[in-house]
Amino acid sequence: MPVRNALEALTMRPTRFLLSPWPLRSLIYLTGGALIGMATIATTLLLLAAGLLLSIVVVGVAGYLATVLSGVVVGRLERWRMRLVDREALPNPHRHPGEPGLRAWLTCRLREQATWRELGYTVISALVLCWMDAAVVYAAVVVPASLLFGPVYLHGETTPWVTVPMALLTPVALAIGAYPVTAWAGARAAMARALLAPRSDDSDAKLVELTRSRARLVDAFEVERRRIERDLHDGAQQRLVALSMQLGLARLELEDGSAAAVQVTAAQQLAKETLAELRELIRGVHPKVLTDRGLAAAVGDAAGHAPVPVDLDLRLAGRLPDAVEVTAYFVVVEALANVAKHSEATRAAVSAGIRGGRLHLDVRDDGRGGADPGRGTGLTGLADRVAAVDGTVALSSPPGGPTLLHVEIPCGS
Look at residue 159 and tell me whether its pLDDT is greater than 80. Answer: no
Burial class (CB in 10 A: 0-12, 13-18, 19+), 229: buried
Average pLDDT on 68-96 reads: 84
DSSP state of 201: T
Bigger pLDDT: 209 vs 359: 359
Please state whether the peptide bond connecting residue 402 to the residue before it is cis, i.e. omega within 30 degrees of 0.
yes
**Sorting pLDDT into bands at 50, 70 and 90, what band is 225?**
low
* Residue 185 pLDDT greater than 60, yes or no: yes
Alpha helix segments (H runs only) across 82-159: 102-111, 113-124, 130-137, 143-148, 150-154
More confident residue, 73 or 276: 73
Q: How confident is the model at residue 126 (pLDDT cuts 50, 70, 90)?
A: confident
Q: Would you place residue 63 in the very low, low, confident or very high pLDDT band (cuts 50, 70, 90)?
A: low
Please say if the pLDDT value at position 169 is more than 80.
Answer: no
Quick one: pLDDT band at residue 320, thresholds 50, 70, 90?
Answer: confident
Distance CA 73, CA 109 (A): 12
Of 148-152, 183-187, 296-300, 324-328, which range is least confident? Answer: 148-152
Q: Check residues 404 and 170 and name the one with the higher pLDDT.
A: 404
CB-side exposure of 106: number of CA atoms within 13 Å? Answer: 10
Please give the Cα distance from 174 to 178 (Å, whole number). 6
User: Per residue in 278-310, pLDDT tens?
Assistant: 666 655 555 677 777 888 888 888 888 888 888
Residue 62's pLDDT band (cuts 50, 70, 90): low
Secondary structure in 3-state letters for 202-224? CCHHHHHHHHHHHHHHHHHHHHH
What sign does the dihedral 338-343-345-347 (CA atoms) show? negative
What is the reported pLDDT for 227? Answer: 57
pLDDT on residue 57: 53
| Residue 408: pLDDT over 60 | yes
pLDDT reported for residue 52: 66
pLDDT averaged over every residue in the chain: 77
Q: Which residue has the higher pLDDT, 237 or 88?
A: 88
Length of the chain: 413
Q: Does position 217 have pLDDT exceeding 60, yes or no? A: no
* Distance from C-alpha of 295 to C-alpha of 326, rounded to nearest angstrom: 8
Contact between residue 168 and residue 161 where contact means Cβ atoms under 8 Å apart: no
Residue 237: C-alpha distances to residues 134, 264, 274 (Å):
82, 20, 9
pLDDT 10s digits, 9-23: 888 888 888 888 888
Tell me the mean pLDDT in the region 330-350: 84
Q: Are 70 and 43 in contact (CB under 8 A)?
A: yes
Burial class (CB in 10 A: 0-12, 13-18, 19+), 209: exposed
Write out pLDDT tens, residues 142-158. Answer: 877 776 666 555 555 55
